[in-house]
């Protein structure tokens, strides 16, 4: 299955995903700083959790690259106001104010809506703690900037920064958040995008409903020297248009110690309820639950379900999958297995099968018969670099186990009913219609976090519900509240 966090971004022709956020194109080697400094399409096209990317921005990306190459050929650097070989300077930074509360007045420096795809940042710098309303959709606040030790030592002349950000949807609005919307620039004009794995809880991507907020960290490996500024590109959803905000990242505070939690902490020991995570997250392809314990690894996850009977509509292909898994919490690796139903165009006969996946590697079919009404139990276990994936049909007695080797973090436990996505020829992901599956109930859901086995509802860790909805906010699958002592839930089909 395709996890709700995206695969590594490809750039076959300097795609729109890369233009504002990469320093160097990973495929063709183009210096993307020139494109970022000159405008570019201004950010991703805007998507909720699941991020199937459209192709409409890619043509604009190619055009921008051609323009930049043309300007370089004509040697128009002087016309643009820069001496040969010089990089754009970073504006001087001002002293920050105190951290403002959500709901504070909109500052005069908030960025206006930009009508051109080649959006440029607003002239004024926003201070840390200063909330800004953007596009009439969200209130965006940089709460804190910290020196972060990182997951591995930085190279010479580099340092890690972690930026704590709060996104609040305005009344009547749904606000998207995505770490791809951010870059950090230094005094030499060098831009860096967020690495795939950063400080937790990460502001990865998703959306929040009217009046709701999400708080998380966006992390960067930046080149010295400072001062540093944060560039925030909020997409308006059409033609690559964005609203841009520029935030002065001062002061850089010492790192906050990671929470040192006992093996079985007492309820309420976390500084924030649910460790600061929202209780629910809208998703374009997930129904189910996720959980994690900040600072602690997940070493096992397990769950059971009954394979439901699916109904295929002959006019279209569709799919639905039920699975358990563990991911790295930062967009790269996901280890998972479960069952799936596939409906093919022109046929009303569903195909049932089992599979496992070491994402982003391809999915692998499991040689096991899957029948409606059969009871399945699955688990993913991590010991060092060895991952064990196991599934058993407790009705027929059939079972499958495989060991895989991977050096990957284990941050988030997942119990999911999913609308899978398929990889298109241009590298985009497309979520397929959701097969009418009736209802799938997952039971005996638990995971080992910090050496202790916990049910989903355990108050000693963060847990959250995924609500699968279309981009127009139509429910695709309803996720129930937790039952069975916090270890069970149901997902009920609503819309393809």
In this structure, of 71-80, 350-359, 422-431, the range with the lowest mean pLDDT score is 71-80
Helix (H) or strand (E) holding 146: strand 138-147
Q: Which residue has the tokens 């007695």?
A: 397
Across residues 456-463, what is the average pLDDT? 91
Find the angle CA(444)-CA(273)-CA(411) to the nearest 5 degrees. 55
Residues 6+ apart with CB under 8 A from 202: 179, 216, 217, 218, 219, 329, 330
Domains 91-248 and 275-493 share a fold: no
Across residues 361-379, what is the average pLDDT? 95
Across residues 365-393, what is the average pLDDT? 96
Across residues 356-380, what is the average pLDDT? 94
C-alpha to C-alpha distance for 62 and 68, rounded to whole angstroms: 10
Across residues 26-52, what is the average pLDDT? 33
Position 384 scores a pLDDT of 93
Across residues 398-403, what is the average pLDDT? 96
Across residues 449-459, what is the average pLDDT? 92
pLDDT band at 146 (very low <50, low <70, confident <90, very high): very high
pLDDT band at 134 (very low <50, low <70, confident <90, very high): very high
pLDDT 10s digits, 316-348: 789 999 999 999 876 678 999 999 999 988 888
Please name which of 416, 371, 365 lies closest in space to residue 397, comparing C-alpha atoms: 371
Position 328 scores a pLDDT of 86
Across residues 433-451, what is the average pLDDT? 93
C-alpha to C-alpha distance for 433 and 440, rounded to whole angstroms: 17
Output phi, psi for 114, to 5 deg: -105, 130
Position 1 scores a pLDDT of 58
Q: Which fold has domain 275-493?
A: Jelly Rolls (2.60.120)
Position 235 scores a pLDDT of 87
Position 278 scores a pLDDT of 79
Please name which of 245, 240, 198 lies closest in space to residue 57, comparing C-alpha atoms: 240
Across residues 213-221, what is the average pLDDT? 86
Cβ distance 231 to 39 under 8 Å? Answer: no
- 470 vs 226, more confident: 226
Position 34 scores a pLDDT of 36
pLDDT 10s digits, 242-289: 889 999 999 999 987 654 444 444 444 455 678 777 788 878 889 999
Please name which of 208, 183, 209 lies closest in space to residue 194, comparing C-alpha atoms: 183
Domain coordinates in residue numbering, the chain: 91-248, 275-493
Average per-residue pLDDT for the chain = 73
pLDDT 10s digits, 19-35: 333 344 444 444 433 33
- 48 vs 444, more confident: 444
- 409 vs 63, more confident: 409
Q: Record the tokens describing residue 9, joined without a space.
A: 């971004």
CATH architecture of 91-248: Sandwich (2.60)
């Amino acid at each position: 299955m395709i996890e709700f966090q995206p695969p590594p971004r490809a750039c076959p022709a300097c795609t729109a995903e890369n233009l504002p956020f990469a320093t160097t194109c990973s495929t063709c080697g183009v210096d993307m700083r020139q494109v970022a400094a000159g405008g570019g399409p201004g950010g991703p096209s805007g998507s909720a959790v699941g991020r199937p990317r459209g192709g409409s921005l890619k043509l604009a990306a190619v055009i921008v690259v051609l323009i930049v190459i043309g300007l370089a050929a004509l040697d128009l650097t002087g016309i643009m106001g820069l001496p040969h070989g010089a990089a754009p300077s970073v504006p001087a930074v001002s002293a920050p104010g105190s951290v403002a509360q959500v709901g504070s007045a909109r500052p005069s420096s908030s960025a206006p809506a930009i009508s051109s795809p080649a959006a440029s940042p607003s002239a004024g710098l926003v201070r840390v703690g200063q909330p800004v309303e953007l596009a009439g959709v969200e209130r965006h606040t940089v709460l804190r900037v910290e020196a972060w030790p990182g997951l591995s030592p930085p190279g010479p002349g580099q340092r890690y920064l972690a930026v704590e950000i709060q996104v609040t949807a305005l009344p009547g609005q749904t606000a998207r958040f995505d770490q791809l919307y951010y870059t950090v620039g230094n005094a030499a004009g060098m831009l860096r995008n967020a690495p795939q794995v950063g400080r937790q809880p990460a502001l990865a991507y998703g959306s929040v409903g009217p009046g709701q907020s999400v708080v998380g960290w966006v992390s960067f490996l930046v080149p010295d020297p400072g001062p540093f500024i944060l560039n925030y590109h909020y997409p308006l959803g059409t033609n690559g248009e964005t609203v841009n905000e520029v935030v002065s990242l001062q002061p850089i505070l010492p790192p906050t110690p990671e929470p040192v939690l006992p093996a079985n902490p007492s309820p309420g020991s976390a500084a924030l309820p649910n460790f600061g995570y929202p209780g629910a997250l809208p998703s374009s392809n997930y129904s189910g639950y996720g959980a994690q314990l900040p600072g602690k690894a997940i070493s096992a996850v397990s769950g059971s379900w009954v394979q439901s009977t699916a109904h295929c509509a002959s006019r279209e292909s569709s799919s639905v999958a039920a699975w358990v898994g563990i991911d790295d919490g930062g967009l790269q690796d996901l280890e998972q297995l479960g069952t799936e139903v596939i409906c093919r165009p022109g046929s009303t006969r569903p195909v049932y099968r089992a599979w496992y996946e070491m994402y982003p590697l391809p999915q692998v079919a499991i040689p096991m018969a899957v029948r409606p009404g059969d009871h399945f139990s699955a688990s993913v276990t991590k010991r060092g670099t060895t991952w064990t994936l196991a599934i058993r049909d407790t009705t027929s007695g059939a079972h499958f186990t495989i060991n895989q080797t991977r050096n990957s973090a284990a941050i988030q436990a997942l119990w999911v009913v999913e609308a899978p996505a398929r990889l298109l020829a241009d590298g985009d992901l497309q979520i397929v219609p959701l097969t009418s599956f009736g209802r799938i109930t997952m039971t005996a859901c638990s995971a080992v976090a910090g050496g202790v086995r916990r049910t989903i509802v355990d108050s000693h860790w963060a847990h959250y519900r995924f609500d699968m909805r279309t981009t127009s906010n139509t429910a695709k699958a309803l996720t129930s509240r937790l039952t069975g002592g916090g270890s069970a839930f149901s997902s009920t089909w609503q819309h393809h």
